[in-house]
Amino acid sequence: QIQLIESGGGLVQDGGSLRLSCLASELTLSDYAMGWFRQAPGKEREFVAAVSSSGWNTYYIDSVKGRFIVSRDNAKNTVYLQMNSLKPGDTAVYYCAADRTVAASALSTRIYEYRFWGQGTQVTVSS
């Protein structure tokens, strides 16, 4: 059974850092582009960042550019989201997701293109 398991969430103060991890099981991570999404209370789930299957390409929403870094270690079947200079507006449940791709450099920002999803990890940034 394919599973994506997020970890690393928690409570942090404004300006702090967290590193989220997403471990994939029963899935060859190198076949998938990986995305990070988040959902704040009362809001729709939104795209945050993505990395292509090769790791060559990354993409971020404007609000996290320069603060968040997405990376992957295909040998460990793990994707990471390093979050720095966190703000209260970053508070949300963060999800990783997998998108089967053919091109090693391809990635997507569209939720519906991601087939497999983790259960999410809570990130809370206090002011």
Q: Extract the tokens encoding 24.
A: 């994939």
Question: Mean pLDDT in the chain?
Answer: 96
Confidence tier at 125 by pLDDT (50, 70, 90)? very high
- Burial label for 96, CB within 10 Å (0-12, 13-18, 19+), is buried
Residue 85 has pLDDT above 90, yes or no: yes
| pLDDT at res. 42 | 95
| pLDDT at res. 33 | 97
Return the percentage of the chain with pLDDT > 90, whole number.
94
Q: Distance between CA atoms of 55 and 43, rounded to whole angstroms?
A: 30
| pLDDT at res. 126 | 97
Would you call 76 helix, strand, or coil by DSSP?
helix
Q: Extract the tokens encoding 25.
A: 């099981």
Mean pLDDT on 88-95: 98
Mean pLDDT on 42-58: 96
Confidence tier at 105 by pLDDT (50, 70, 90)? confident
**Contact between residue 66 and residue 126 where contact means Cβ atoms under 8 Å apart:** no
Helix (H) or strand (E) segment spanning residue 30: none
